[in-house]
Structure 1
Amino acid sequence: MGGITLEVIDAVALLTVDAPEVRNALTPRMGRELAEACDAVDADPAVGAAVVRGAGGTFCSGADRRTWDPSADQAEDATFRDTGAVYGAFRRVGTLAVPTIAAVRGAAVGAGINLALATDLRVVARDARLLAGFLRIGLHPGGGFFTLAGRSAGREATAAMGLFGEEVDGARAAELGLAWAAVDDAEVEDTALALAAVPARDPDLAREAVRSFRTELGPPGLPWDAALEFERATQMWSQRRRTGR
């Protein structure tokens, strides 16, 4: 049912969401695997940067519906912990000790867009699809989406995507500040790797620089961890409401 792979090439960690049969949708187990992979990256002082990508030409289509049941009691202990494992994976990517880049091809939807926004920088395909999509399916946004999007794209674009369900392509994402560069699909991963190679040349410096970067430019409004918890009860309510429970 898919998984997370980690390989290191020339001091750059490649974290791959690998479940192409469901367009790399995330399961709680994959969330835990991603957090473990991040721990491994942090423990390797020879790694100076990380690239997060999806297998098979798409980034991440959200939560895997095979393991996520919106009709379940979201406050039940096991369900609450499973959702937290996915949310925790976003947070863990965002606290990696090295500079991070998302290489976004295909779609980044729901949980997928949160994963992309968790990184320090994004390179996207011009025809990539970026969509929060929560309200479209009757759910409150989760995973700290408003904080994540707001720190990159500002209030207007965050409102359009998070409140009004607007979808943007990769070219528009770069215009809005959601991505650093929009390139041809075939060039996404090479571009991300070329960018990552710069800090990877000096892992010690890269780790110190990214620590300063995040400390000085941290997310606006609520801290990210507070935003996760602030949103969570309302999202659980919206899931229960959606199914009439």
Structure 2
Amino acid sequence: MGRIVLEKADGVATLTVDSPEVRNGLTPDMGRELVAACEEVDADPAVGAAVVRGAGGTFCSGADRRRWRPGADQAEDATYRDTGAVYQAFVRVGKLAVPTIAAVRGAAVGAGMNLMLATDLRVVAEDARLLAGFLRIGLHPGGGFFTLAGRTAGREATAAMGLFGQEIDGRRAVEIGLAWTAVPDDEVEDTAHRLAAGPAQDPALAREAVRSFRTELGPPAIGWDAAVEFERATQMWSQRRRTSS
């Protein structure tokens, strides 16, 4: 079973997705743990920034497909709630009261892309593999992917990734505005923590600044919460029509 690990040092919280046997795929229980960890971060006024990372040299491969039930009724109560728990994991990261950075090594796929895009800033490995991948496996995107990608990379890149299944590496992510910097794999997490150390020096100011940042620059067309719900029914349809994992 996977877990979420929360560590705090020098004003920086580090949230680690730790399920390396499935390349850090998120289970519903891990989604709930991530929400709880975010609540703990917000409740600690000494924390002024957060870094989100994956254990074992990879970021997040999306939802843990071992829990999928292809062809099942996605509106059935337990299934609906479990899917919602994964969605709420990255929605809650996006609402953390402190500036957030994704430290992306290895792969970020599907819901892992959403988790990465939920943060305020991204540091990626030059050879990172970034792939929405939903249509490749017969699923409509979920979790407001188009809103998340569109607010960073713009319409063209979002179409390439979300509609046409294009995979990009870290260098390309920087070129299209999806990430701030691409560095060698072994420098990703140190770089992210060096950046996080800046706002962590004054947590109260950092919290006020990031609140203004998100209010002023948030997604312009449809709110993220609305986008999650807008996409959900169609993704449920796409899950229901599948016959295999």
Question: How does 1:133-144 map onto structure 2 within 5 Å?
Answer: 133-144=133-144
Superposed displacement of residue 234, structure 1: 0.3
1:189 aligns with 2:189: yes
Cα distance in 1, alignment partners of residues 221 and 56 from structure 2: 36
1: CA distance, partners of 2:189 / 2:70: 34
**Distance between the aligned counterparts of 1:70 and 1:204, measured in 2?**
46
Contact kept in structure 2, 1:150 and 1:220, CA below 8 Å: no
Aligned residue number for residue 163 of structure 2: 163
Question: 3-state SS of the aligned residue for 2:168?
Answer: strand
Q: State the Cα distance separating 1:29 from its structure 2 match.
A: 0.2
1:99 partner letter: P
Are the equivalent residues in 2 in contact too, given 1:105–1:128 (CA < 8 A)? Answer: yes
SS of residue in 2 equivalent to 1:242: coil
Instruction: Give the deviation of 1:220 after TM superposition.
Output: 2.3
Matches within 5 A, 1:16-165: 16-165=16-165
For residue 230 of structure 2, what is the aligned residue in structure 1?
A: 230
2:152 maps to a residue whose letter is: S
> CA RMSD of the aligned region, Å?
0.8
Structure 1 CA distance, aligned partners of 2:220 and 2:110? Answer: 21
Aligned residue for 1:207? 207
Question: How far 1:67 sits from its partner (Å)?
Answer: 1.5
For residue 70 of structure 1, report the CA deviation from its aligned partner.
Answer: 2.9
> What is the Cα deviation at residue 240 of structure 1?
1.2
Distance 2:4 2:111 in 1: 15
Quote the offset at 1:71 in angstroms: 2.4
Question: Aligned partners of 1:52, 1:93: CA distance in 2, in Å?
Answer: 9
Which consecutive residues of structure 2, in runs of 5 or more, have no partner in the other structure?
none
Corresponding residue pairs, total: 244
Task: Report runs of 4+ in structure 1 exceeding 6 Å deviation.
Answer: none
CA distance in 2, matches of 1:145, 1:105: 20
TM-score with structure 1 setting the length: 0.98
Judge conservation of contact 1:27–1:68 (CA < 8 Å) in 2.
no
Deviation at 1:73, TM superposition (A): 1.1
Q: Deviations over 1:39-86 (max 9, x none)?
A: 000000000000000000000011111222232211000000000001
Answer with 101-110 or 63-72: which moved more: 63-72
Find the aligned partners of 2:196 and 2:70 in 1 and give their Cα distance. 37
User: What percent identity do the matched residue pairs reach?
Assistant: 83
Checking the alignment, whether the CA contact within 8 Å between 1:35 and 1:88 is kept in structure 2 is yes
